[in-house]
Structure 1
Amino acid sequence: MDTTLISYCIIVILVSEYILATTLNFLNAKRFKDTIPEDLTDVYSSEEYEKSQGYKWTNYRFGILTSSFSILLILSVLAFGGFGWIDTFVSRITPNTTFQSLLFFGIIMMGSDVLNTPFSYYQTFVIEENFGFNKTTRKTFIIDKIKGWFMIIVLGGGILALVLWFFEWAGSNFWLYTWGLITVFTIFMNLFYSKLIVPLFNKQEPLADGSLKSKIESYAKNVGFELQNIFVINGSKRSTKANAYFSGFGKEKRITLYDTLINDLEEDEIVAVLAHEVGHYKKNHIIFNLVTSIVLTGAMLFVLSLFINNPDISLAIGVATPSFHAALIGFGILYSPISEITGLLMNFVSRKFEYQADDFAKETFSASPLVSSLKKLSKNSLSNLTPHPAFVFMHYSHPPLKDRIRNLKA
């Protein structure tokens, strides 16, 4: 392919994605004032519904601002040779290609994070604060940033260094070794993320003895779900929004409850939420998602191996001397339409899995407490009850609340 053609393809992809995202958000915003479905009329009072409308409109307008900034930034970097300037800068610092790549990506990632920090700050301390969600202190915000940078340097830098070594050692076959590395890392993180990474940001404690723990253990025993680890995480440290999640598998599986969830829901509602999570495990959704993720990663790396040595890709983003890191940037943009398609398919499957997990909770526990818990969680997070079908199709990994409740009541 010609360098100029690749450059045009990159610009067309970036602009098309921006237009598509903006159009979908606009269509979704037009549905904000639609009549609330009959099954959901008890979610909001009139005052709460007005508040939710304000929250949705505020986030919609803020989203336009941030996405517009992002597209203008990347197009400006391409137009004015930003990638080429960074590449020249790192090549002057060190002749070692591995260090050049690490510095190249480090400058891009740190620069991007610094530029986006004001938006993140505004989102947290203005929007979330004004609508009563934020519990993050400025000290916590800064410490989280520093910890995030540290993890990027240690984990991201370490993995990238190994990938670069694979490339220099194995040539175009580097993708096989990289695939193996990412597979091991993915499985490791699935097993130990809650044990090793979460404590860096949040405090976790075993669920205290009491009626809630007894009900959870009784339910787990009834459905043949071996459960030894039930933890409570201090989610209220950052937000009033509630959540619960299941992680790991085998002996490392654990259920984690946000303290906000325990405060917001009745005990039977919490058990119903956990029954839904157990349903994902019993239906092998976790294994399916893990295997699918690994397969898709392998496919992407194979395609990358076919293009990584093409100098036109590096030249297309304004880097004069072709390199692994420049080609990786260009390939990432060129591959994004394929990522969108696989993302659509994964979201479609995920919505099916959510129905199956809801059905499992209904059959093994009860539908009523799950319905009431979903309504409370939606109310407390000021969720959109009338999303546009196209927006749901493109972005939702869970079915809309009205569809889940209709399924539970069927």
Structure 2
Amino acid sequence: MQPNTLFYILIAIIIINFIIDQILDTLNAKHFDDKIPEKLADVYDEAAYKKSQAYKKTNAKFSNLTATFSILLTLGFFLADGFKHVDDFARSYTDHPILIALIFFGMIMLGSDLLTTPFSYYKTFVIEEKFGFNKSTKTIFWLDKLKGWFMLIILGGGILSLIIWFYQFAGTNFWIYAWVLVAVFSLFMNMFYAKLIVPLFNKQTPLEDGELKFAIEKYAKKVGFIVHNIFVIDGSKRSTKANAYFSGFGSQKRITLFDTLINDLETDEIVAVLAHEVGHYKKKHIIFNLVSSILLTGFTLFLLSLFINSSILSEALGVTTPSFHIGLIAFGILYTPISEITGLFMNFMSRKFEYQADNFAKETYAAKPLITSLKKLSRNSLSNLTPHPAYVFVHYSHPTLLKRLLNLEK
């Protein structure tokens, strides 16, 4: 295959992926004005429903704008030999492969972030503000941005450096060492993310003694789920939207409740939500997701090892000096169709797991408080109650609210 042929294949993949996303977005948007199913009639009153419609349509228009900007920027960068210019710039400062790669990716990511930050700012302080969700301040926004860059430099740069180092001494067998590295890192982050990373962005405090803590501990004891780490996170400093999640294993098990969740729901509803999360743990969904992610990473790295030595990957992007970092860019685009397929499978499994977790909550606690909590959370976040089936199939990691309620009411 000639480099020019591969170049056009890469462009085709980018454009086709964009077109498919636009088709799905368009199909979904056509259902925005559908009549709400009878079982969901009590989620919104007339005023709230009109607000949810406006929110969906505003976000859809904004999403189309950002997606169009992104693909035009990407195609322009390709056609202007952007990768070659950035690679030349990096090589003008050093000839060390790891440093070249760090400068190369650092420039691309910094440039991309600077160009897209205005969109993120508008989303937070105009759209989310308009619909009453935003509680963040400009100081928090920019601090989050700086912390994100810091983490990307330390964690992302560190992992990339080690992978290139593995490639230098192990050749195409680098993927084995890289796989072990990523697997260990994934396991470590699953265990300690809440302790090490979350505190950089949010304050976590132990749930105070009282009715809610007693109810949670009573339920946990009933189902044999002993956990001593129940924390409340100050999610309200950024948004009014509510959430709860479970993390860790063994002695590191931890339940985290957003303060907005506590404010929005009754005690029995919060316990029902947690029963759902406990269901994920009891049904080994967390283990499945972690193992699947690690196996998929290994598969991806193995495929990368088969192509990374091919100079055609670099030449297709206009770079005459073959390198790991340029090959990684080209491979990443070529891998997109496979990534989309594996994404469909993982979303399918995730939706299946949500039903199982709902059933666990229904069987070990009660269906009614979980139903009312799901309705409240949907109402408070102005959720779309009538998404297009194709959009759900591709993008949703959770079943629609209607399907979850029908399952709970069986």
Give the TM-score category using the shorter length.
over 0.9
Query: Hey, what's the Cα distance between the residues in 1 that align with 2:18 and 2:222?
Result: 49
Output the amino acid matched with 1:171: G
Query: Hey, what's the Cα distance between the residues in 2 that align with 1:39 and 1:2?
Result: 58
Q: Which structure 2 residues correspond to residues 296-307 of structure 1 after superposition, within 5 A? A: 296-307=296-307
Query: Hey, what's the Cα distance between the residues in 2 that align with 1:250 and 1:313?
Result: 45
Q: What is the match of residue 390 of structure 1?
A: 390
Q: Which structure 2 residues correspond to residues 373-384 of structure 1 after superposition, within 5 A? A: 373-384=373-384
Asked if 1:328 corresponds to 2:341, the answer is no
Asked if 1:127 corresponds to 2:101, the answer is no
Asked if 1:78 corresponds to 2:66, the answer is no
Output the amino acid matched with 1:324: F
Query: Hey, what's the Cα distance between the residues in 1 that align with 2:253 and 2:27?
Result: 40
Secondary structure of the structure 2 residue equivalent to 1:256: strand
Query: Hey, what's the Cα distance between the residues in 2 that align with 1:124 and 1:320?
Result: 42
Query: Hey, what's the Cα distance between the residues in 1 that align with 2:106 and 2:228?
Result: 40
Q: What is the match of residue 35 of structure 2?
A: 35
Give TM-score, length-normalised by structure 2: 1.00
Q: Report the aligned-residue RMSD.
A: 0.5
Q: What is the match of residue 288 of structure 2?
A: 288
Show structure 1 runs of 5+ residues with no match: none
Aligned residue pairs, count: 410
Query: Hey, what's the Cα distance between the residues in 1 that align with 2:179 and 2:110?
Result: 26
Output the amino acid matched with 2:199: P
Asked if 1:88 corresponds to 2:85, the answer is no
Q: Which moved more, 1:235-244 or 1:317-326?
A: 317-326
Output the amino acid matched with 1:311: S
Q: What is the match of residue 268 of structure 1?
A: 268
Report deviation, 1:97. 1.2
Secondary structure of the structure 1 residue equivalent to 2:205: strand
Q: What is the match of residue 158 of structure 2?
A: 158
Query: Hey, what's the Cα distance between the residues in 1 that align with 2:248 and 2:115?
Result: 35
Output the amino acid matched with 2:104: F
Q: What is the match of residue 360 of structure 2?
A: 360
Q: What is the match of residue 144 of structure 1?
A: 144
Asked if 1:341 corresponds to 2:349, the answer is no
Q: What is the match of residue 238 of structure 2?
A: 238
Q: Which structure 2 residues correspond to residues 6-45 of structure 1 after superposition, within 5 A? A: 6-45=6-45
Query: Hey, what's the Cα distance between the residues in 1 that align with 2:368 and 2:319?
Result: 59
Q: Which structure 2 residues correspond to residues 86-125 of structure 1 after superposition, within 5 A? A: 86-125=86-125
Output the amino acid matched with 1:337: P
Report deviation, 1:408. 0.3
Report deviation, 1:382. 0.2
Per-residue CA shift, 1:313-362, capped at 9, x if unaligned? 11112222111100000000000110000000000000000000000000
Report deviation, 1:285. 0.3
Output the amino acid matched with 1:406: L
Q: What is the match of residue 409 of structure 1?
A: 409
Query: Hey, what's the Cα distance between the residues in 2 that align with 1:272 and 1:318?
Result: 56
Secondary structure of the structure 2 residue equivalent to 1:93: coil
Query: Hey, what's the Cα distance between the residues in 2 that align with 1:320 and 1:381?
Result: 50
Query: Hey, what's the Cα distance between the residues in 2 that align with 1:88 and 1:377?
Result: 51
Query: Hey, what's the Cα distance between the residues in 1 that align with 2:141 and 2:379?
Result: 26
Q: Which structure 2 residues correspond to residues 158-307 of structure 1 after superposition, within 5 A? A: 158-307=158-307
Query: Hey, what's the Cα distance between the residues in 1 that align with 2:11 and 2:346?
Result: 26
Query: Hey, what's the Cα distance between the residues in 2 that align with 1:154 and 1:324?
Result: 20
Secondary structure of the structure 2 residue equivalent to 1:74: helix
Query: Hey, what's the Cα distance between the residues in 2 that align with 1:375 and 1:99?
Result: 51
Report deviation, 1:2. 1.9
Report deviation, 1:272. 0.1
Q: Which moved more, 1:24-33 or 1:1-10?
A: 1-10
Per-residue CA shift, 1:355-393, capped at 9, x if unaligned? 000000000000000000000000000000000000000
Output the amino acid matched with 1:106: G
Query: Hey, what's the Cα distance between the residues in 1 that align with 2:208 and 2:162?
Result: 43
Output the amino acid matched with 2:30: K
Query: Hey, what's the Cα distance between the residues in 2 that align with 1:125 and 1:268?
Result: 34
Secondary structure of the structure 1 residue equivalent to 2:160: helix
Q: What is the match of residue 314 of structure 1?
A: 314
Secondary structure of the structure 1 residue equivalent to 2:226: coil
Query: Hey, what's the Cα distance between the residues in 2 that align with 1:228 and 1:86?
Result: 51
Secondary structure of the structure 2 residue equivalent to 1:227: coil
Report deviation, 1:221. 0.1
Secondary structure of the structure 2 residue equivalent to 1:162: helix
Per-residue CA shift, 1:73-123, capped at 9, x if unaligned? 110010001010000000001111110001001111111111110000000
Query: Hey, what's the Cα distance between the residues in 2 that align with 1:200 and 1:319?
Result: 39
Q: Percent identity?
A: 65
Report deviation, 1:4. 1.5
Query: Hey, what's the Cα distance between the residues in 1 that align with 2:288 and 2:151?
Result: 27
Query: Hey, what's the Cα distance between the residues in 2 that align with 1:404 and 1:169?
Result: 51
Secondary structure of the structure 2 residue equivalent to 1:33: coil
Per-residue CA shift, 1:292-325, capped at 9, x if unaligned? 0000000000000000011111111222211110
Per-residue CA shift, 1:241-285, capped at 9, x if unaligned? 000001111111100000000000000000000000000000000
Query: Hey, what's the Cα distance between the residues in 2 that align with 1:315 and 1:250?
Result: 49
Secondary structure of the structure 1 residue equivalent to 2:384: coil
Output the amino acid matched with 1:354: E
